[in-house]
Amino acid sequence: MVTGIFIAVGVIFLGRLFQLQVLDPTYKEYATNNVLRKVVQYPARGLVYDRNGELLVYNQAAYDLLVTPREVVRFDTLTLCSLVDITIEEFRQKFQEARAYSSYKPSVIVKQISPEKYAVLQEHLYKLKGFYIQPRTLRQYPKPLAAHVLGYVGEVTRDITANDPYYQSGDYIGISGIEKTYEKELRGKKGVKYFLVDVHNRMQGSYLDGRADSAAQIGKNLVLTIDARLQEYAEQLMKNKKGSIVAIDPATGEVLAMVSTPNYDPNLLVGRQRGNNYAALAADSLKPLFNRSLMAQYPPGSTFKMANALVALQEGVITPYTEYYCAHGYHVGNFTVGCHHEQSFRVENSISQSCNAYYCYIFRAILENPKYGGVKQGYEAWREYMLRLGFGRVLNTDFANELKGLIPSSDYYQKYVYRNARWRALPIISLSIGQGEIGITPLQMANHTALIANRGYYYIPHVVKEIEGQPIDVRFKTPVSSGIDSSWFRPVINGMEKVMQPGGTGAMSWVPGISVCGKTGTAQNPHGSDHSVFMAFAPKDNPRIALSVYVENGIWGSTYAAPIASLVIEKYLNDTISASRQWLEKSMMQANLLNPIQILRRGEEE
């Protein structure tokens, strides 16, 4: 019996040993972890090119120093700190953070070591048990262009790692621009390599001849719709100014240039000084990180008049030949919307001469259209047209952080304007000339210009032309209708053409040899000088470029926005500026409106 007990105990022990050593891999993993190092292979992010093949973003090698606290033995702290350019205090803080995170898992303790520093550090690694290197790549920019379009990359937050298992602490992700929108395409796929290490923490070779490894997959390259030469030129014109330029190819919806100024050099948000540089940019009173093209919501001023003309024509409350008389403005009792004419206007010359009174009359006619049964219902119908024209909503582009602007709902006006009063047109008549509560982004205005150029439809604006190995989203190839008949665009476009001819409000920005259709505007600014606004497309037939220009504190549309737009158009279509207009180019490039000494003026509305 005793023998049987010993045999039974022996069988139990043998069974347990078999389970631990053969069936249960835990102890094997513990043993293996003592001689293996798992090194994540970070793929290079995809390259970014402009529409003509010019390289805009590439990668440069960098290295992170990682530490596994439980493996660390005594070492020369001073030497290590001098090798990686950090202070002893910084090192101790980082080491404590790594230990608090996990003594068993590796943590990044020094980020983005340059290849030159890494070459020296590598010679000392055998003395630094518990420390090892992980290769990475950093974004680099050959030219300081299109920072807001390209965006930047930053370290993941805890929220990201908690919600997306792909990312681990210390990983990088696109934070803004195309880096954010096309993160999955650009990032590629991480791989893993396993290495054998000796007691001195030195790699002895790959584990299992690499059979356990997985290769990193490089991110996909992107070709943008941006024309780098046009982008650079537009940024030069906007130097020392606050504002935006957005240029679109009406035939495709491809964004040719997108400028928001003041801007910044994208190389500032790369490398060891990224944090300090970001803090300085964020604290800058000029807000260089703010993308005015997508996020600034300006009153459109007189550039909004074409939208109201189109709705009035479509609704049948006017014809191209309907006339209204301007007696230096629109007058109802003691209420006046000022203007600077004493004559009658039809659609075409109301645009070329920018008559405020004309648009007050037609806006009132839209709202009081008998078929709606009341001004409130008329306003709701008008607002629906504005949404279809691309205002007051996001356009579903591939830009990160696109805002929708503002076309207020009838509920808003019911609450804040009419309350218990009867709806009438007069309290909101300023909407007729693009003032009041309206907020339009430069992107929306450029898209609206493209819609007019196309006589009633647009393609959703987008900034990526090609994704390596896959097509762009089908929504960018599908035309979006405005619901306005193409026949009504003829008088509007003719009026825009006359804007640029003698007697028109934009005549000083006439471009020799190019039929430009444009519209000047002044966006009222309660905090200083008014903003200069301009929208245009060219050529009139078979248009190739449509754009909007906003220059803050530029006073009138004809002062800065129109000349700048005309120069962008000429540069894109002719690839040069004619000798007769080089004085204008020089004047715009030298103009400094960041600290303007200007008399605040509330002059005649354009």
pLDDT tens for each residue of 71-95 = 888 888 888 888 888 898 998 999 8
Closest CA to 546 of 524, 521, 573: 573
Q: What is the β-pairing status of strands 222-224 and 48-49?
A: parallel
Express as a percent the part of the chain with pLDDT over 90: 66
Domain spans in the chain, listed from the N-terminal domain onward: 36-198+205-224, 228-263+287-590
Question: What pLDDT sits at residue 273?
Answer: 85
Q: Pick 26 or 380 by higher pLDDT.
A: 380
Question: What pLDDT sits at residue 196?
Answer: 80
Express as a percent the part of the chain with pLDDT over 70: 91
Distance CA 181, CA 198 (A): 44
Q: Are 440 and 297 in contact (CB under 8 A)?
A: yes
pLDDT tens for each residue of 59-74 = 998 888 888 888 888 8
- Whether the pLDDT of residue 268 is over 50: the answer is yes
Question: How many CB atoms are located within 10 Å of the residue 571 CB?
Answer: 20
| Residues in CB range of 165: below 8 A, 6 or more apart | none
Q: Which of the four pLDDT bands, split at 50, 70 and 90, describes residue 152?
A: very high
Question: What pLDDT sits at residue 450?
Answer: 98
Question: What pLDDT sits at residue 216?
Answer: 86
* In this structure, CATH architecture of domain 36-198+205-224: Alpha-Beta Complex (3.90)
Q: Is 3.40.710.10 the CATH classification of the domain at 228-263+287-590?
A: yes
Average pLDDT, the chain: 89
Question: What pLDDT sits at residue 126?
Answer: 82
The residue written with tokens 């002059």 in the block is 603
The angle at the Cα of 248, spanning 498 to 528, to the nearest 5 degrees, equals 70
